[in-house]
Amino acid sequence: MTRIVVTGAAGFIGSNIIQGLNARGITDILAVDDLTQGDKFRNLADLAIGDYVDAADFYQAFARGAYGRVEAVFHEGACSDTMEHNGKFMMANNYATSLQLFEAAQAQNTRLLYASSAATYGGSRVFVEDPAHEAPLNVYGYSKLLFDQKMRRELGPRFERAGTQVAGFRYFNVYGPREQHKGRMASVAFHQFHQFQADGRVKLFGAYGGYAAGEQMRDFVLVDDVVAVNLWFFDHPQRSGLFNLGSGRAQAFNDMACAVVNSARAAQGHSSLDLAAMVAQGLIEYIPFPDTLRGKYQCFTQADLGALRNSGCDHAFADVAQGVATYAKWLERN
């Protein structure tokens, strides 16, 4: 039986990856996480796993070979709070731990599929997996970039020297089921859905950075698509490298808000509205851009999918309207 490790297993992407593995009949899964935030257990409660290990105990034990033959590690465990300013904690958690895991995985011929981040690009306007375009705006982005840089030094610019698969994924703005524990770091879709349920309107930032109100753009990617790409690489163990994982399509926050509002209206039996009608009816409201975010905010992101497509992965990504409609139904049920 294939044994898999998923770190960050009770988190957003980790739990969705376990769900994807379960759908294939894979249940010999070692779930690794820190459940100090106890309500994260809900992300594991409906999943089939072989065992659970606390993150504080796992990494050294794995390096000793304590878990026997492991085919692959999906490394989703990290501090993903972009507002966390404790650099010592961030580097220990996101860089040093990942490096320890990489070295142990290579020694045991275990494949490593790990989470990087689009935060490595920071204020860049070009989103290609190349050092020329990497300019993180916070220590979270730097912690992810430093590990990517280490992989390039160890394995070559495109990880071409990896004897055992190593694939890193620069996640863009992921949204979807099982993110409810993330608080302020939950997706725009999550916050807008609950804001509309509570207040009957969605608030967006006004004009900033050369963009009109609500027209700042992000590459929003449904977590189902993130899982599908991870599992494609799991199915293709000869493919290594660093890959953007977004939809490849930048869409405005206005698009997201319209999709959220229309999904909620559809659930209530109401017809769809366009943006102008939503603004006129007060369903979308613009607020001044906060001073605390000036100079620290990405107004535009869009994954360049050239490397991903060149790997042979031709997965088709949902757009915001499709993805939010799927997600809103899940939120209504849960």
Q: What does the CA dihedral 103, 151, 144, 316 come to, rounded to 10 degrees?
A: -110
Which of the residues 150, 182, 203, 329 is marked catalytic?
A: 182
- For range 167-191, the mean pLDDT: 96
172-196 burial, b if ≥16 CB within 10 A, otherwise e? bbbbbbbbbbbeeebbbbbbbbeeb
Q: What angle do CA 247, 252, 253 make, to 5 degrees?
A: 110
- For range 177-198, the mean pLDDT: 95
| Strand, helix or coil for residue 283 | coil
Work out the burial of residue 158: count CB atoms within 10 Å of its CB; fewer than 13 is exposed, 13-18 middle, 19 or more buried. middle
Which of the residues 59, 95, 114, 140 is marked catalytic?
A: 140
**pLDDT tens digit sequence for 190-223:** 999 999 999 999 999 999 999 999 999 999 999 9
Question: Is the dihedral angle over the CA atoms 116, 153, 234, 99 positive or is it negative?
Answer: negative
pLDDT of residue 93: 86
Predicted TM-score (pTM) of the model is 0.96
Distance, in Å, from the CA atom of 193 to the CA atom of 120, rounded to the nearest integer, reads 28
Indicate if 182 belongs to the active site.
yes
DSSP per residue, 185-221:
GS-HHHHHHHHHHHHSSEEEE-SBTTB-TT--EE-EE
Show the tokens assigned to 254.
Answer: 């206005």
Res 1 pLDDT > 70? no
Q: What angle do CA 283, 288, 291 make, to 5 degrees?
A: 145
Distinct helix (H) and strand (E) counts, the chain: 12, 13
Confidence of residue 45 (pLDDT cuts 50, 70, 90): very high
Best CA proximity match to 296, nearest among 180, 141, 122: 122
| Strand, helix or coil for residue 287 | strand
- For range 151-173, the mean pLDDT: 97
User: What is the percent of the chain with per-residue pLDDT over 90, rounded to a whole number?
Assistant: 90
**pLDDT tens digit sequence for 238-258:** 999 999 999 999 999 999 999
Res 295 pLDDT > 90? no
Residue matched to tokens 């049920």: 333
Cβ–Cβ under 8 Å, residues 240 and 155: yes
Distance, in Å, from the CA atom of 133 to the CA atom of 85, rounded to the nearest integer, reads 23
pLDDT of residue 84: 72
- For range 281-293, the mean pLDDT: 96
pLDDT of residue 80: 73
Residue matched to tokens 């993150």: 55
**pLDDT tens digit sequence for 82-134:** 777 788 988 988 999 999 999 999 999 999 999 999 999 998 999 999 999 99
Res 69 pLDDT > 80? yes
pLDDT of residue 274: 97
Indicate if 171 belongs to the active site.
no
Confidence of residue 296 (pLDDT cuts 50, 70, 90): confident
Res 137 pLDDT > 90? no
Q: Kindly report the average pLDDT of the chain as a whole number.
A: 95
